[in-house]
């Protein structure tokens, strides 16, 4: 289950042209299983209407502090049941009101009343954003524990190019997920995840690669982030859209990946290797593009080191086994030879569990238990199961 599933999100919307993105955001949060109730400032309602939000969330959207709500005081009832108050977009005026504790409308009264985490996503022209008054408001809000989404450099509706542009919906959802997961099962832990396929150069234009899209690794990195972990994503070649809200380290070859894994696991609690690593590389990469000669061409390959095997056992080590035959037998060998705590075996000859698929079917292997086949699931669901197991091992290890 996603960290958004069943969460009650109060979406505060302010009077900015970026308010149109809040409608798409509300819709996506609703589709991900969150219950989204919207509070519009009166100026937000000049740009978008309560009806827009009720239509996409099937929940009420309020403007007026004094909306009759029989048996309850509206802002207190909203504040008490929220898992998160997200003010998106947040204007300079509302940021100042929140920072100063003014309580002159439904949004500000609810902010003062709630004990839920608060996220604000500023959206305004660069001059307003960089103004000392706005920065002071943001500093006050940060000090009081609010999570501030960093605006982007870019073109504002006015045509001015500066920092103040609100990030797109996917990035906002990543930030919301990270805030909701902050006190999760991996809170305060560091998890390193590898994703994608390494590329071993033959010459300046060609390489030996594989079919990894990065989807499995990205789903794992997102699931770790949603459990509250600080995630380092070591990303080889991929085709899927990369996840947000984590440190991303790009690599090309298996040797690059090994160096990055060694550097970032020094402080980590767990390593999950979902990346597809070349076991062999060309002994030499030519300096210039290889030309056709009319004769067969032999390429001598030499073995790459086993990255997972050489990582110390002090951290939780998790690998995959990408097999096309004797899946269990080969995966069992990898569990031992790589000194892994867990190996997830997938039969990559199946279209539903292989490279590029949105789903996976894995068998869980560990030292102390017999192999456990899991049903076919979306890669995001497989990732959530894997992270549960990883979190349990990390907890065990930290109490040992
Ligand atoms: O990226 P997708 O399109 O979503 O596809 C997902 C996947 C099929 C790539 C993924 O589920 C998967 O199986 N990843 C592991 C791919 C792989 O390299 O498997 P392997 O059986 O060759 O290696 C076993 C384990 O050792 C892996 O965790 C691998 O990362 C690691 N390894 C391999 C070689 C090497 N030199 N060093 C390693 O550490």
The helix/strand/coil state of 315 is coil
**Residue 197 per-residue DSSP state:** B
Instruction: State residue 159 phi and psi, 5-degree precision.
Output: 100, -15
Furthest-apart CA atoms within the chain: distance in Å: 87
Contact 264, 258 (CB under 8 A): no
- Which residues is 234 bridged to in the sheet? 194, 249
Active-site hit among 210, 304, 346, 360: 210
Q: How far is CA 271 from CA 14, 163, 279, 314, in A?
A: 41, 36, 19, 11
Q: Distance between CA 101 and CA 48 in Å, rounded?
A: 26
253: nearest Cα among 273, 236, 229: 236
Q: Given ligand 1 and candidates 199, 319, 325, 351, which is best to mutate, with the most ligand atoms within 8 Å of its CB? A: 319
What would the 3-class secondary structure string for 134-178 be? HHHHHHHHHHCCCEECCCEEEECCCCCEEEEECCCHHHHHHHHHH
Q: Give the per-residue pLDDT at 156.
A: 84
**Contact (Cβ atoms closer than 8 angstroms) between residue 327 and residue 354:** no
Q: Which atom of ligand 1 is nearest to the CA of 219?
A: 4
Tell me phi and psi for residue 38, to 5 degrees: -110, 140
CB 337 within 8 A of CB 308: no
Could you give the CA distance from residue 383 to residue 22 in angstroms, rounded to a whole number? 28
pLDDT of residue 158: 84
**Cβ(376)–Cβ(352) under 8 Å?**
yes
The conformation of residue 297, written as its DSSP 8-state character, comes to -
Distance between CA atoms of 58 and 60, rounded to whole angstroms? 7
Separation of alpha carbons 390 and 185, rounded Å? 10
Pocket of ligand 1 (CB under 6 A): 212-217, 254, 273-277, 279, 304, 306-308, 319-322, 334, 338, 346, 348, 354-356
Closest C-alpha among 220, 227, 174, 178 to residue 391: 227
At 1 the pLDDT is 65
- Is there a contact between 5 and 32 (Cβ–Cβ < 8 Å)? yes
Give backbone dihedrals phi and psi of 364, rounded to 5 degrees, phi first: -90, 125
Which residue among 210, 274, 306, 327 is best mutated to probe the pocket of ligand 1, counting the most ligand atoms within 8 A of its Cβ? 274
One pLDDT digit (tens) per residue for the chain, 400 residues: 689 999 999 999 999 999 999 999 999 999 999 999 999 999 999 999 999 999 999 999 999 999 998 889 999 999 999 999 999 999 999 999 999 999 999 999 999 999 999 999 999 999 999 999 999 999 999 999 999 999 999 888 888 899 999 999 999 999 999 999 999 999 999 999 999 999 999 999 999 999 999 999 999 999 999 999 999 999 999 999 999 999 999 999 999 999 999 999 999 999 999 999 999 999 999 999 999 999 999 999 999 999 999 999 999 999 999 999 999 999 999 999 999 999 999 999 999 998 999 999 999 999 989 999 999 999 999 999 999 999 999 999 988 8
**Residue 314 Cα to ligand 1 middle (Å):** 21
Asked whether the bond before 89 is cis by omega within 30 degrees of 0, the reply is yes
Paired residues of 235 in beta bridges: 195, 250
User: What are the beta bridge partners of residue 99?
Assistant: none
Ligand 1 atom nearest 274 alpha carbon: 14
The ligand 1 atom at the shortest distance from the C-alpha of residue 307 is 39
Report CA(108)–ligand 1 centroid distance (Å): 50
Atom of ligand 1 nearest to the CA of 318: 28
Which CA distances in Å does 80 have to 5, 84, 204, 348? 19, 10, 60, 48
Residue whose pair of structure tokens reads 């099937």 in the numeric block: 58
Nearest-CA residue for atom 35 of ligand 1:
306
Instruction: Say if CB 25 and CB 52 are below 8 A apart.
Output: no
Query: Residue 344 C-alpha to ligand 1 middle, in angstroms?
Result: 10
Q: Alpha-carbon torsion 368, 371, 375, 376, what sign?
A: positive
Mutate to test the pocket of ligand 1, among 273, 307, 345, 357 (most ligand atoms within 8 A of CB): 273
Q: What DSSP state is assigned to residue 279?
A: S
Choose among 284, 224, 278: nearest CA to 255: 278
- Residues constituting the chain: 400
Contact 123, 16 (CB under 8 A): yes
For this structure, is 210 an active site residue? Answer: yes
Residue 108, classed as helix, strand or coil, is helix
């Amino acid at each position: 289950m996603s960290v958004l599933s069943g969460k009650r999100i109060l979406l505060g919307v302010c009077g900015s042209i970026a308010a149109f993105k809040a409608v798409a955001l509300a819709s996506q949060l609703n589709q991900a299983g969150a219950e989204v109730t919207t509070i519009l400032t009166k100026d937000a309602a000049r740009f978008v209407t309560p009806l827009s939000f009720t239509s996409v969330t099937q929940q009420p959207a309020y403007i007026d502090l004094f909306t009759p709500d029989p048996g309850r005081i509206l802002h207190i009832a909203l504040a008490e049941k929220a898992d998160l108050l997200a003010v998106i977009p947040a204007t300079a005026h509302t940021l100042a009101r929140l920072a100063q504790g003014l309580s002159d409308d439904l949004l500000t009264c609810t902010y003062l009343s709630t004990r839920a985490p608060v996220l604000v996503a500023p959206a305004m022209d660069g001059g307003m954003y960089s103004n000392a008054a706005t920065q002071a408001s943001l500093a006050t809000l940060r000090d009081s524990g609010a999570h501030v989404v960093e605006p982007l450099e870019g073109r504002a509706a006015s045509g001015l190019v500066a920092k103040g542009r609100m990030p797109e919906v996917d990035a906002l959802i990543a930030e919301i997920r990270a805030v909701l997961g902050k006190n999760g099962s991996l809170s305060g832990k560091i998890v390193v995840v590898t994703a994608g396929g390494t590329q071993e150069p033959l010459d300046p234009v060609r390489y030996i690669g594989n079919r990894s899209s990065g989807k499995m690794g990205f789903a794992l990195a997102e699931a770790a982030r949603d459990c509250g972990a600080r995630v380092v994503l070591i990303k080889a070649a991929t085709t899927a859209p990369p996840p947000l809200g984590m440190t991303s380290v790009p690599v090309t070859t298996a040797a690059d990946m090994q160096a990055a894994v060694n550097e970032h696991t020094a402080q980590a609690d767990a390593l999950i290797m979902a990346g597809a690593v070349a076991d062999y590389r060309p002994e030499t990469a030519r300096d210039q593009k290889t030309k056709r000669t009319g004769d067969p061409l032999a390429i001598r390959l030499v073995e790459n080191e086993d990255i997972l095997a050489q990582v110390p056992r002090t951290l939780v080590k998790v690998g995959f086994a990408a097999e096309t035959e004797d899946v269990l037998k080969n995966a069992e060998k990898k569990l031992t030879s790589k000194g892994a705590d867990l190996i997830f075996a997938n039969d990559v000859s199946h279209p539903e569990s292989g490279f590029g698929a949105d789903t996976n079917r894995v068998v869980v292997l560990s030292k102390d238990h017999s192999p456990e086949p899991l049903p076919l699931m979306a890669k995001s669901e497989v990732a959530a199961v894997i992270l549960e197991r990883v979190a349990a091992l990390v907890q065990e290890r930290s109490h040992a």
